[in-house]
Structure formats: C-alpha cells, structure tokens
Amino acid sequence: MSFTGKYELQSQENFEPFMRALGLPEDQIQKGKDVKSISEIVQDGKKFTITVTTGSKVLKNTFTVGEESEIEMLNGEKVKAVVQMEGNNKLVTQMKGIKSATELNGDTITHTMTMGNLTMKRVSKRI
C-alpha cells in the first residue's frame, strides 16, 4: 500500500493541550488550531518525504524506514529517530518521549501522537 499523495486535515483532537505540552507559544497554537494543513507524502520503497504545510509554516522530513534519521518535530526541534513500518500501512516512531503513529486506511490517514497521558489525533483525507 502506497502512502504517496496529498492529504487535507479533516479533524483533530487535543491539538491545543498537546501543543502547549510541547512548549509552543500560545499565539502559534491559536494560529495553527483552525488551519486546514496539507500533508504531501512521497514514498519510494522504504524512503519517505513528508511535507506538512500549515498556513505559512512548512515542515519537511525525509527518512528511510528502519534507519536513523533527523526528524523535525512540531516545535521546530530536530531529533534523531528511527521510523518503523508495521504491516504495510502504519509508520511508528518514538522521539523525545513522544510516540507517533501514522496509519493509512484507504484515502484516510490517521496520525496519533502520545506524550505521557496526552494524545493528539489528526485525521486527513486524500485530495
């Protein structure tokens, strides 16, 4: 199953408390909470490039499944992480105490991030 495509954010849960826990400034949280971000994913075998555009902010990460890569987090911090594939439709990684899972089901991507007892869930549809 290929992740390649463009996806528009449809819904999100716990965005504001999660971003506060990450240490984002309140003005950035308020600007970002209602923006319909666009995620563009290019998959070439085990290599992925994921570009998320939220208003004027662009976050781009390139990684190869199973290899250590530098990943830029939502707060701009860059960390080393290894992304693994579960089955043929789920990418999982751990970075700085955050568990991230991105699951593709048909034309829908569900991205779940968990830090401690706080979970943010974002659902995007292919456009």
Span 29-88, pLDDT tens digits: 888 888 889 999 999 999 999 999 987 889 999 999 999 999 998 878 899 999 999 999
* Adjacent-strand bridge partners of 2: none
- Number of C-alpha atoms within 13 angstroms, CB side, residue 43? 16
Give the C-alpha separation, 8 to 3, whole Å. 14
Neighbours of 46 (CB within 10 A): 12
Tokens 């970075």 correspond to 95
Give the C-alpha distances (Å, rounded to integers) separating 89 from 103, 109, 110.
6, 9, 11
Q: How far apart are CA 89 and CA 96, in angstroms?
A: 24
With a threshold of 0.85, does the pTM exceed it? yes
Domain locations in the chain as residue ranges: 5-126
pLDDT value at position 32?
82
Range 5-126 classified under CATH 2.40.128.20: yes
Residue 1 pLDDT > 80: no
